[in-house]
Amino acid sequence: METANFSVVIIAKNEAARIEDCINSCLVWADEIIVVDDESTDDTVKISKRLGARVLTHRMDVEGLHRNWANAQSNNDWVLSLDADERLTKELKAEINETLSANPKENAFTIPRRNFIGDYWLRWGGQYPAAQIKLFRKSKFKWEEAEVHPRALLDGECGHLTKDIIHYTYRNWGDFLKKLNNQTTLEAVKWHKLYLADPKKANYKMNFVHALWRTIDRFFRVFIGKRGYKDGFTGFMIAYFSSVYQMVSYAKYKEINRSDKKTG
């Protein structure tokens, strides 16, 4: 049987240093490559067009909405969703070909990701296999319209592929902290919106005691429960910052609430 036609949709913003490797890992193999660019100010668009990708400019506001819009632009129902810091392996491409050739009953598939900080592969602490839904029928799948960490909403069954995506998650610790700062801000904004809609629910779920408990619990779950200690000092730092994420998000949430009350 022939492999079903499918599109690769790549989300990018100021990824001139990494977009070429991402696109090259899909060239020839994919029926269509789309780069959805979030108003980059570097050469991301120029490089993508030179390599033959279809480039669309669309500003990201809410992550879930942005990803849904991007996927909807594909000409095929089957979509493989990538970020510019992800790479496909030959083994994964062969597995996808085999899977889609079998006309699967599943409407989506998770793919394990091999996460890196710099050139170090994070094997523990929940960082591997860290499978995510990356391949799906767009007519049966969408993301929750949330600012950060949107949930996957799938109509039908989900299958699981076994070959890895290479994910260069963080260039270095500076990049890690930059992303942590951005994500905690988005998390705080999400909770503030809930507070405006339902103060009682927000105060119950997002208070100091809960934030402190989540901070402590997250560290021990990542470092001990998920054996982050096996990654040594790097594993400790991942666990530490994963836990700090909770308290920093809470601090920003409180700050936004105070500022909103003053201006209101």
- Structure confidence by residue, pLDDT tens digits, 212-261: 999 999 999 999 999 999 999 999 999 999 999 999 999 999 999 998 87
Predicted pLDDT at 53: 97
Would you place residue 1 in the very low, low, confident or very high pLDDT band (cuts 50, 70, 90)? Answer: very low
Residue 63 phi/psi, 5-degree rounding, is -55, -50
The answer on pLDDT for 263 being more than 60 is: yes
The answer on pLDDT for 190 being more than 60 is: yes
Predicted pLDDT at 264: 61
- pLDDT mean over 26-50: 97
Predicted pLDDT at 82: 98
Predicted pLDDT at 261: 77
**Cα–Cα distance, 223 to 53 (Å, whole number):** 41
Percent of the chain with pLDDT over 90: 92
- pLDDT mean over 19-33: 96
- pLDDT mean over 21-46: 97
Predicted pLDDT at 4: 76
- pLDDT mean over 19-42: 97
- pLDDT mean over 38-44: 97
Predicted pLDDT at 3: 66
- pLDDT mean over 27-53: 97
The neighbour count for residue 127, using CB atoms within 10 Å, is 24
- pLDDT mean over 170-174: 96
Domain ranges of the chain: 6-170, 173-263
Percent of the chain with pLDDT over 70: 98
- pLDDT mean over 149-169: 96
Strands, sheet with 6-12, edge to edge from the N-terminal-most edge strand? 54-57, 32-37, 6-12, 78-83, 132-137, 108-111, 158-160
pLDDT tens digits for 99-123?
999 999 999 999 999 999 999 999 9
Comparing C-alpha atoms, which of 6, 3, 62, 51 is closest to residue 32?
6
DSSP state of 118: T
- Classify 6-170 by CATH class: alpha beta
pLDDT tens digits for 193-208?
999 999 999 988 899 9
Residue environment code for 32-67, b if the CB has 16+ CB neighbours within 10 A, otherwise e: bbbbbbbebeeebbebbeebebbbeeeebebbbbbb
Predicted pLDDT at 2: 57
pTM above 0.95, yes or no: no
pLDDT tens digits for 120-148?
999 999 999 999 999 999 999 999 998 78
Predicted pLDDT at 36: 98
